[in-house]
Structure 1
Amino acid sequence: MQKYCLTLDLKDDPQLMEEYVRWHRQVWDEIKESIRQSGILGLEIYRLGNRLCMIMETDASFSFERKNQLDAANPKVQEWEDLMWKYQKPLPGAKPGEKWMLMENIFSLSGSGIQ
């Protein structure tokens, strides 16, 4: 199993941030299924103010390239992503259209995951 941590910011608007949280309390079933189909076994999102942190645990079939291809071919995922973009803002240094950015693992108590 592989673990990834990604980050993204929300627009700094308390009302929009609360709406974003509400959407994530009722994520569409089609979105959850698309996540599972891509090889993601577990996914959690944490928030501090407008900063988000996503932790994903994946199986051996997962790759970001494959996930992007599956998402691009899924109209329901595209609808969800368009909706979420109302609340999200790119991090400094993000490429055009880039949302979640992969974080570098710099410490692990278990020693796993460090390159």
Structure 2
Amino acid sequence: MRTVLALDLKDDPALIAEYERHHQRIWPEIADHLRRQGVTGMEIYRLGTRMMMVMETDDSVFDAAAMAAASESDPKVRAWEELMWRFQAPTPWTPAGQKWVPMTRIFDLGAQED
């Protein structure tokens, strides 16, 4: 399954540059954690301070609630998330206590009839 999520960055060019440097090579434990949870692909795009994550998952393995629980119980994942929150900011539409929020697909070329 493909999920698209949004999150903002703090509007500070130095912080944005540092955030991007962290993503040139994420901690191996974080990549391993994502793969164990059934994440088969992940890309993050940025325009200004807005970010969009495209996450591909194996539905036979992936469970968002289980991933959240596994993330919370893993000290390395918690440390990564704490570090990332130095750079991140919720979008204006993000519910309190959340970070990445799902975007709503409004168009699909594949669904268009010729």
Give the alignment's TM-score, normalised by structure 1. Answer: 0.91
Specify the alignment match of 1:51 in structure 2. 50
Within a 5 Å distance, the mapping from 1:51-90 to structure 2 comes to: 51-60=50-59, 61-90=61-90
Specify the alignment match of 1:29 in structure 2. 28
- CA distance, structure 1, for counterparts of residue 89 and residue 10 of structure 2: 6
Gaps of 5+ in 2: none
- CA distance, structure 1, for counterparts of residue 110 and residue 38 of structure 2: 23
For residues 22-58 of structure 1, what are the alpha-carbon distances to aligned partners after superposition, in whole Å with 9 as ceiling and x for unaligned? 0000200000000001111000000111110000111
What letter corresponds to residue 82 of structure 1 in structure 2? E
RMSD between aligned residues: 1.0
SS in 2 for 1:56: strand
Q: Which stretches of structure 1, 4 residues or longer, exceed 6 Å deviation after superposition?
A: none
Task: Name whichever of 92-101 and 53-62 sits farther off.
Answer: 92-101
The size of the alignment, in residue pairs, is 110
Give the alignment's TM-score, normalised by structure 2. Answer: 0.92
